[in-house]
Amino acid sequence: MRCVSWLLLGTCLLVLGPAVQGAPSQCPTLCHCHGDLQHVICDNVGLKKIPQVSEATRLLNLQRNNLSSIPTGAFSESKGLISLHMQNCQLREIGSQAFKGLKKLIYLYLSNNEISSIKPGAFEDLTELTYLYLDGNKIGDLAKGIFSPMINLFILQLNNNKLRELRPGTFTGAKDLRWLHLSGNELTTLHPGSLDDVENIAILHLDGNKLSTYPSPAMSKLRVVEELTLGGNPMKTIPEYAFQSFGRYMEKLHLDSMGLEKLSDGAFTGVTAIKSLHLDNNKLRSLPRSLEFGTITNLTLYNNPWSCTCQLTPLRKWMDSSRIRPDALCASPPQQKGKQVRESTAFGNCKAKGRRPRKGTRH
Ligand SMILES: *[C@@H]1O[C@H](CO)[C@@H](O)[C@H](O)[C@H]1NC(C)=O
Ligand SMILES: *[C@@H]1O[C@H](CO)[C@@H](O)[C@H](O)[C@H]1NC(C)=O
């Protein structure tokens, strides 16, 4: 988790290392420099070319300039860089070896450009890179092994691009990846094996894509997912055992606004730690038997045509004992229509479900 707290500061205040002996150099024209050129700030100053900075520079901020591309060797004199900011630079392409020499780089910000092409070998030398931001671009395809130099990659931000599918080999080498953000793409398919190289992902955002079936074969290699968002994908059902391989870890699950008609009876098998579950804006009438409410502290259910029959008894019992009592209107049977589940009289004569055996010895 190194550097996460720096990340949260936004603009990084880097811990400055010992002064590097480098060729003396001046602050690039139009830029501001601090700390003996350790920070070089050229934010929105009309640069058309990437300035050369010396090995002493740790942070280079080039955001909001019109740079359009990164030529090979652009940073060959800048071997000391730890943080490189190139958001909003109208970049269209990342060429092969664009970052050559940046063996100390930890943060790379390329958000909100026009990047549609990342050439094979583009990320060569980025072995220390831990945070990579590529959100808000036009990336439609990722070459096999494109991230393979990044053996320390921790966060990969790819929200709001044009990715259509994930294939095996896409994440080869990035074995420490923990946060993978893919919201707002055009994903229709996560091929089996496409996530096998990143089995330690903890946060996986897939909301706002075009997945029409839950990609069980790709997901089943994941072991420690704590947060999964699938909202806005046009999926009608969630299959049996969907979350089983990481169910003990999953605390947050977003399944809102998907047009879901059914959660299979065993969909939640193995899910034992869930705190936050979002099922609003679907077409659900019932909840599956495998869903255990015991750990839930945040639940949304509104805009579903709930069928207020005995099958919702576990939900009602949880509502009766919970501090939160989420909105959920009965759509059927006719005499319950329009009533809140939490107030409905439909459950008075339902038999309490047999208590499940306690699993108190599980960790
Ligand atoms: C940015 O630079 C490219 C080529 O150098 C040019 O075609 C384009 O018009 C420039 N865009 C702006 C907004 O200045
Ligand atoms: C419940 O979860 C939603 C979505 O993550 C969040 O916005 C909201 O703040 C949470 N509510 C509580 C009480 O934690």
Residues 206-227: tens digit of each pLDDT = 999 999 999 999 999 999 999 9
Ligand 1 nearest atom to the CA of residue 66, by list position:
1
Q: Is residue 357 part of a domain?
A: no
- 344: nearest Cα among 334, 330, 332: 330
Ligand in nearest proximity to the CA of 278: 2
User: Domain total for the chain?
Assistant: 1
- Residue 353: pLDDT band (50, 70, 90) is low
Vertex 57 angle, CA 60 and 124, to 5°:
70
**Predicted pLDDT at 245:** 98
- Average pLDDT of the segment spanning 233-251: 98
Does residue 334 lie within any of the structural domains? Answer: yes
Distance from residue 194's CA to the centre of ligand 2 (Å): 30
Q: Is residue 248 domain-resident? A: no
Q: Which residues 6+ apart lie within 8 Å of 27 measured at CB?
A: 33, 37, 40
**193 occurs within a structural domain:** no
273 pLDDT more than 60: yes
Measure 228 CA to ligand 2 centroid, in angstroms.
Answer: 14
319 inside domain:
yes
Whether 200 is covered by a domain: the verdict is: no
* pLDDT for the residue numbered 153: 98
CA of 42 relative to ligand 1 center, distance in Å: 18
Residue 139 falls within a domain, yes or no?
no
CA dihedral for 93, 135, 79, 125, sign (positive or negative): negative
Specify if 353 maps to a domain.
Answer: no
* CA 298 / ligand 2 centre spacing (Å): 6
Q: What is the pLDDT of residue 352?
A: 64
Domain hosting residue 340, numbered range: 306-347
Q: List all residues whose CB is within 6 A of at least one atom of ligand 1.
A: 66, 68, 90
For position 36, what pLDDT does the model report? 87
0.85 exceeded by pTM: yes
Region 149-164 average pLDDT: 98
pLDDT in tens, 16-46: 444 444 343 789 999 999 988 999 999 999 9
